[in-house]
Amino acid sequence: MIERGRSPFTDPRQDPRFLKALHALEEAVRCQQQGQNEEADRLYAKLVKKNPEYFDALNLYGLFNYQQGNLLKAAELLKKAARINPRSIKALNNLGIVFGELKRSQESLDTFERAIALDPTNPQTLNNRGNALADLNRLDGALESFGLAIKIQSNFFDAYINRARVFLQLGRYEEALADNDRALIFAPLHPDIHNNRGGVLLKLHRTGEALASYDRALAIRPDHANALGNRGSILNELGRYDEALSAFDKALAIKPDLPGTKADRIYSKMHLCGWSNHDAECLEVISSMRGGAPTSPFVVLGISSSREDQLHCATTYSKKNYPPADKPVLQGGHYRHDRIRVAYLSGDFRDHPVAYLLAGVFEQHDQDRFETFAISFGPDNPNEMRTRLGRAFSRFIDVREKSDFDIAKLLKELEIDIAIDLMGHTTGSRMGILAHRAAPIQINYLGFPGTTGASHVDYIIADPILIPERHRNDYTEKIAYLPNTFMPGDSNRPISDGVLDRMQHGLPKTGTVFCCFNNTYKLNPSVFECWTRILNRVEGSVLWLSATNATAADNLRKAASAKGVDPNRLVFAKRLPSSADHLARHRLADLFLDSLPYNAHTTANDALWSGLPVLTQIGETFAGRVAASLLNTVGLPELIKQTQEEYEKAAIELATDPARLALFKDRLAQNRLTTPIFNTQLFTRHIENAYAVMAERYQAGLPPDHIFVAESNLGR
């Protein structure tokens, strides 16, 4: 915290001008305290011009400029003050803080080191040095510096706050929570501590307590912009998007440049299908991201069709949130095992789309070649899927209570050859584990449809449609190409056999049923307007959508009405308790209409497994090419369109030519069990072969490189 202090070397008895200068300084300070900043600035400037060696004036004018946000001017003045009195710890502390604000972290650290050389027991300086070390990602040193400050001053709650922040960054959540609780002992009404505590509790999956912490921060300080923004993020996670949007609006009204909040707000609006000013707001977020603002890579998937934007966003985000550790857990050496040890890292080993896709692969792994580990840091909700997954692995390890660092050490102790992150930049991920270099080979797969932007992730698993050769430079990982599609399909996934009736699901007895069961955040004005044109051209048709929230349904009905479509032609499918029943109801639809720039992924897989053709427009990014990958693999490339005009025309033609649409359904019915798309055993051999090539390269001392897995005839 910046301090104000006078030079001990200023002596009025030695300088007859001192009293006049002192009065001038006091007048400048008085104006500043009364909010007369222009007058204060004038008086300070006049004073330092007449007295260029006046330490107190330089120091206070530097602080004034710091408080006004004039950081370069503040640094210039404080450097002069520190030159005049090089033994002033206060001046050095102030200068170091300004350097830190300017992101000149090494100069900041050097300045604090000068202050510590003068007094190694000053807790304020030790705390400030800890912040500089943290900014340089020298986290072990930061923890040590904060610890020394606390040892000297046990009630120094700022040091507890800062040490908790580093513990949080390291994924040492219980220690972070303990330090926040210690800080509250000394400052129980400090809103920042309650706010920070909420962030830690969220990482510990104690969502209700986290929300309560943010509420306590806001009860103390209702205009706490960070707490409002964080509260909005939790409400987003809980699916309370209306409340989240309100929280974000309040936060931005207080602090318009609050980092990441405009992107989070867009995400709320996308879930609500609230498209007022959609294009302009998306462009604002993208422009801010291009300028270096930390922005959620997941949100950018749905608002930008640019691979360059997505790469830039992911790289910036990873550098800030998951920088490579100073001291990697794994340093040199090679493991030698009879079986390759593969660890899958996820918080979604439960009733979740990723689990549905991969369950069969986990079960089909060749136990003679591979030893498989589930590293689970998500909730342990007992259900059929959790039980199934528990049986599928060689070892299922619950690590919820461990820090990222401790999980990385565990992977080293287990001598894991290949660590596979199944979440990437999605809610609840723990990418910090791989930042510690937990395994010789580290992979980004399935959960996040794009590059992680992380230098410590070696490979991304894809296929030639998802990432053509011309797109490779937009990924920080090397590409492991599977021969068909990157997405697994579980051939054992059940579909209910009962006779279905359209009327029971709110659908008309006759007429074309278009459907799209994508999450509402994948919809946008351009896609929906295209759908309304299709509905207007196909008489008696309806559009069947997921009923995710009431506000989205209302907004979609209004958007349909504005385009001349009867809102009653939108039908909303309620959530069913059984996955098998959900798959079965796809058979009531005629054609699945995909979205862009974020395609149907698991929902496209569901539709094809259920026998429902999918019509897609292929995009430029990974997220916009998934449905094309699936359709190509199942032998329906004609349903992949290059432009929205082609897509719209094809939807109308298929709906008005039932015989032609029936041919596609018949071909899908034949191909779904004869092409590789749902051949789980074949897919598993392919991905295992990719793992084997990666391991062979590592054992041979070769760096990661693009891999092309050959087609296998197994099970064909």
8 Å CB contact between 495 and 474:
no
In single-letter form, the type of residue at position 11 comes to: D
User: In this model, does residue 4 exceed pLDDT 50?
Assistant: no
Give residue 17's pLDDT band: very low, low, confident or very high (50, 70, 90): low
Same CATH topology for 340-481 and 502-678?
A: yes
For the chain, the residue count is 716
Closest CA to 355 of 634, 547, 605: 605
**HSE-up of 315 (CA within 13 Å, CB side)?**
15
Quote the CA–CA distance of 694 and 705 in Å, as a whole number.
9
User: In this model, does residue 489 exceed pLDDT 60?
Assistant: yes
8 Å CB contact between 306 and 282:
no
What are the extents of the domains in the chain? Answer: 222-326, 340-481, 502-678
User: In this model, does residue 11 exceed pLDDT 60?
Assistant: no
Average pLDDT rounded to a whole number, residues 285-289: 96
Average pLDDT rounded to a whole number, residues 357-375: 98
What pLDDT does residue 24 have?
Answer: 81
User: In this model, does residue 5 exceed pLDDT 90?
Assistant: no
Quote the CA–CA distance of 429 and 137 in Å, as a whole number.
20
User: Mind listing the pLDDT tens digit for each residue in 396-450?
Assistant: 999 988 888 899 999 999 999 999 999 999 999 999 999 999 999 999 999 999 9
Quote the CA–CA distance of 135 and 138 in Å, as a whole number.
8
User: In this model, does residue 281 exceed pLDDT 90?
Assistant: yes
Q: Is 345 left (phi over 0), alpha (psi -120 to 50) or beta?
A: beta
Q: What is the pTM for the complete model shown?
A: 0.89
User: Which residues, including other chains, have CB under 8 Å from residue 93's CB and lie 6 or more apart?
Assistant: 2, 3, 112, 115, 124, 125, 128
8 Å CB contact between 589 and 557:
no
Q: Is 87 helix (H, G, I), strand (E, B) or coil?
A: coil
E strand or H helix that includes residue 203: helix 191-203
8 Å CB contact between 302 and 270:
yes
CB count in 10 Å sphere of residue 693: 16
Q: Is 592 helix (H, G, I), strand (E, B) or coil?
A: strand
Domain 222-326, second-level architecture: Alpha Horseshoe (1.25)
Give residue 270's pLDDT band: very low, low, confident or very high (50, 70, 90): very high
List alpha helices for 615-708, DSSP H: 626-633, 644-655, 658-671, 680-699
Give residue 204's pLDDT band: very low, low, confident or very high (50, 70, 90): confident
User: In this model, does residue 12 exceed pLDDT 70?
Assistant: no
In sequence order, what are the beta bridge partners of 420? 344, 443
CA distances from residue 401 to 51, 173, 320, 375, 439 in whole angstroms, order as listed: 59, 8, 24, 12, 20
In sequence order, what are the beta bridge partners of 370? 340
What pLDDT does residue 3 have?
Answer: 31
**512, two tokens:** 């074309």
User: Mind listing the pLDDT tens digit for each residue in 33-44?
Assistant: 999 999 989 998
Can you say how many angstroms the Cα of residue 524 is from the centroid of all Cα atoms in its chain? 21
The residue behind tokens 């098998």 is 580
User: Which residues, including other chains, have CB under 8 Å from residue 433's CB and lie 6 or more apart?
Assistant: 171, 345, 375, 404, 407, 408, 411, 419, 421
Give residue 331's pLDDT band: very low, low, confident or very high (50, 70, 90): confident
8 Å CB contact between 172 and 403:
yes
CA distances from residue 487 to 322, 602, 680 in whole angstroms, order as listed: 26, 9, 10
What pLDDT does residue 714 have?
Answer: 62
Query: 502-678: which CATH topology?
Result: Rossmann fold (3.40.50)
User: Mind listing the pLDDT tens digit for each residue in 58-114?
Assistant: 989 998 999 999 999 999 999 999 999 999 999 999 999 999 999 999 999 999 999
In single-letter form, the type of residue at position 338 comes to: D
**408, two tokens:** 């990385």
Residue 382 burial class via C-beta count within 10 angstroms: exposed 0-12, middle 13-18, buried 19 and up: exposed
In sequence order, what are the beta bridge partners of 459? 443, 478
Phi, psi of 610 (to 5 degrees): -80, -10
What pLDDT does residue 10 have?
Answer: 40
CA distances from residue 55 to 1, 27, 118, 119 in whole angstroms, order as listed: 20, 16, 18, 20
Quote the CA–CA distance of 28 and 177 in Å, as a whole number.
43
Phi, psi of 342 (to 5 degrees): -115, 125
Give residue 7's pLDDT band: very low, low, confident or very high (50, 70, 90): very low
340-481 is classed CATH 3.30.565.10: no
Give residue 217's pLDDT band: very low, low, confident or very high (50, 70, 90): very high
What pLDDT does residue 712 have?
Answer: 85
Q: Is 204 helix (H, G, I), strand (E, B) or coil?
A: coil
Give residue 8's pLDDT band: very low, low, confident or very high (50, 70, 90): very low
User: Mind listing the pLDDT tens digit for each residue in 235-251?
Assistant: 999 999 999 999 999 99
What pLDDT does residue 390 have?
Answer: 95
Give residue 332's pLDDT band: very low, low, confident or very high (50, 70, 90): confident
Q: What is the mean pLDDT of the chain?
A: 94
Average pLDDT rounded to a whole number, residues 156-183: 94
Percent of the chain with pLDDT over 70: 97
User: Mind listing the pLDDT tens digit for each residue in 102-149?
Assistant: 999 999 999 999 999 999 999 999 999 999 999 998 999 999 999 999
In sequence order, what are the beta bridge partners of 346? 376
Q: Is 673 helix (H, G, I), strand (E, B) or coil?
A: coil
What pLDDT does residue 667 have?
Answer: 98
Distance from the first to the final alpha carbon of the chain: 69
**160, two tokens:** 């507890």
8 Å CB contact between 265 and 287:
no
User: Mind listing the pLDDT tens digit for each residue in 567-607?
Assistant: 999 999 999 989 999 999 999 999 999 999 999 999 999 99
The residue behind tokens 């270096």 is 292
What pLDDT does residue 44 have?
Answer: 86
8 Å CB contact between 134 and 142:
yes
What pLDDT does residue 403 have?
Answer: 84
Closest CA to 238 of 449, 427, 448: 427
Starting from the edge strand earliest in sequence, which strands make up the sheet with 591-593, in order?
570-573, 542-546, 513-516, 591-593, 614-617, 640-641
Q: Is 531 helix (H, G, I), strand (E, B) or coil?
A: helix
User: In this model, does residue 13 exceed pLDDT 50?
Assistant: no
Long-range contact pairs involving 237-241 (C-beta distance under 8 Å, separation at least 24): 237/202, 237/207, 237/427, 238/207, 238/211, 239/271, 239/548, 239/549, 241/268, 241/271, 241/272, 241/549, 241/551
User: In this model, does residue 15 exceed pLDDT 70?
Assistant: no
